[in-house]
């Protein structure tokens, strides 16, 4: 079944926590979304490239603070994340 990247982000935000750094598994996300694991994992990797998700070394994932803030924008239309324009603190 097809699943959108946004719905993966929303479910990730529900099942994990950026502040407490609580993670969830790809398997659990795929089961909840009724989607195949490969598709969910692919979306999570793309979300990580947008700095909206973080994949840990043990393969679990969590939403980032950026991801939570994006969902709070409550915009359902087009969204582009331009991470290269960020100003990292040293």
Q: Shortest gap between Cβ of 47 and another protein (angstroms)?
A: 7
**Identified binder of another protein from the candidate list 14, 36, 37, 83, rule CB under 8 A:** 83
Helix (H, G, I), strand (E, B) or coil at 31: helix
Instruction: State both tokens at 2.
Output: 């097809």
- Decide if 8 contacts 49 (C-beta within 8 A): no
84 near another protein, judged by CB under 8 A: yes
Q: Is the dihedral of CA 36, 32, 47, 10 positive or negative?
A: positive
For another protein (CB under 8 A), the number of binding residues is 32
Q: Which of residues 34-73 bind another protein (CB under 8 A)?
A: 46-47, 49-52, 54, 64-66, 69-70, 73
Residue 80: name the closest of 35, 49, 45 by CA: 49
Which positions touch another protein (CB under 8 A)? 4-6, 9, 18, 46-47, 49-52, 54, 64-66, 69-70, 73, 75, 77-89
């Amino acid at each position: 079944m097809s699943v959108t990247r946004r719905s993966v982000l929303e479910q990730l935000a529900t099942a994990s926590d950026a502040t407490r750094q609580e993670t969830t598994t790809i398997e659990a996300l795929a089961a909840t979304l009724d989607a195949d694991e490969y598709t969910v994992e692919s979306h999570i990797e793309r979300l990580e490239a947008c700095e909206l998700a973080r994949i840990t070394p043990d393969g679990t994932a969590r939403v980032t603070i950026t991801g939570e803030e994006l969902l709070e924008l409550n915009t359902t239309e087009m969204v582009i994340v331009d991470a290269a324009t960020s100003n990292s603190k040293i």
